[in-house]
Amino acid sequence: MTGRSKTIDPLAAMAAENPTSPAELQAELGSGGMDRAFARALALGQTGPESVAADLGAGGVARGRAKLALGLAVVLVALGAVLVGAGGLFGGSGGGQPQFAAAAIRVAEANPRLLVTEPGWRIVRADEFEPDSGELTFSDGSHEFEVHWYPAHLYEVYLRDRATVSHPEAGTLLGERATTVDYTREEYATMLSPQGSVFIEVRGQLGSKPAYDRVLHSLRPVGVETWLGAMPASTVRPEARAAAIDRMLRGISLPPGFDASALRSEGSIADEDTLAVKVGNAVACGWVQSWIAARASSEVAAAERAVEAIEGSESWPIVRETQVPWFSNYRVIAHQLRQGRLDLGPAGYEATTDGRTFALGPAWKLTLGCEGTYRREVGEVPEYP
């Protein structure tokens, strides 16, 4: 199938892959799901569509066939909070000692708490996760090893998808059935059969299968205090979230009617960079909505204020201090507003393994990570002249 060759930042493309409808697996995007997809995208550190194409998952086009890799390998969808018990992958509860605030403990209690115990490895990123979703990235300083958890009802879909990567190797890990595939001779992924309402997938590019196996088999379930204590200093816990957001908003010109209360009240654990992107996106989206409203009512001055605000995003403290590549998307949208041509069309197209094609858009919302994106089935992919 011929795909539209339109360029789009892959992080924005990834944002399109978080369905809120379990029945359909992929449907209209929800804001919480979008945020988790951004977190995953930031963790991958991808900078071009070609690099994303190496990480296709279920629901995406066959590996190497598309510029936009929109597979479930980068999706963090609703999992449903669950506790398996002290002996399971969730580890012991540990009693909830008072050094951790209650909100952080609630998040920890509802997540699979696995740690890499191979010497020299530590958590370097706790990408935004809530009691019902998440992932961790471990590193030894040279390599990374990721632990993800997804809804149990998607396990068979993932299993079929991974079987297209390589011949699956069956085994056992932590007392559960494990399936391993190799993306290359240096990169491997392992899925554990569902336990409770979730299943776990781990992935690492460690240079060889023996090196991967050593880290894989060092995974151990731990209690709440041990798990929370292993989080990196860059992690923003629920009790610190409101203060962190207020700090990130300082020095930023806010759009009319901007309300940060929803951002402040979310009870999640987040990496600081991920949270900064979420805050910046909320502001940028608000300014674009202000520009749209001003243009509709012929308020020239208000429209100009919106353009100037986004054009000035490079001076926002969170942009200067964080230096996340995602923030370059704001310049793209600022240029569109200055030209008076906001891209309302699809950002790209996705062809699924069952022969269906979906348009993803609107482009400007995906580029900024705004709410209200769509994934609509279309008859065919239009070609550029």
Q: What DSSP letter does each residue of 270-286 carry, written as one string?
A: EEHHHHHHHHHHHHHHH
Q: Which residue has the higher pLDDT, 70 or 13?
A: 13
The percent of residues in the chain predicted with pLDDT above 90, rounded, is 46
pLDDT, tens digit, for every residue of 11-58?
333 333 333 232 332 333 233 343 334 333 333 333 333 222 223 233
With 60 as the cut, is the pLDDT of residue 88 above it? no
pLDDT (0 to 100) of residue 226: 85
Angle between helices 272-296 and 31-44 (to 10 degrees): 130
Residue 85: CB atoms within 10 Å: 12
CB 99 within 8 A of CB 126: no
Q: pLDDT grade, residue 8 (50/70/90)? A: very low
pLDDT for 9 beyond 80: no
For the ranges 14-18, 71-75, 287-291, which has the lowest average pLDDT?
71-75
* CATH assignment of 102-229, among 3.40.1000, 1.10.357, 1.10.10, 3.90.79: 3.40.1000
pLDDT digits (tens, 9 = 90+) for 339-379: 999 999 999 888 776 788 889 999 999 999 999 999 899 88
Is the confidence at residue 318, as pLDDT, over 70?
yes
Amino acid at 131: P
Question: Does residue 90 register a pLDDT over 70?
Answer: no
More confident residue, 89 or 59: 89
Q: Distances in Å between the alpha carbon of 37 and those of 41, 128, 198, 278, 284?
A: 6, 9, 18, 11, 18
Distances from the Cα of 364 to the Cα of 191, 290, 368, angstroms: 35, 14, 6
| DSSP-derived secondary structure letter, 326 | G
Mean pLDDT value across residues 140-144: 95
CA distance 80 to 205: 29
pLDDT in tens, 253-286: 999 999 999 888 876 677 788 889 999 999 999 9
Q: What is the pLDDT of residues 169-225, one digit of tens each?
A: 999 999 899 999 999 999 999 999 988 778 889 999 999 999 999 999 999 998 888
What pLDDT sits at residue 104?
65
* CA–CA separation, 66 and 123 (whole Å): 32
In the chain, where are the structural domains located? 10-77+344-378, 102-229, 235-339
Tell whether the model's pLDDT for residue 155 goes beyond 50: yes
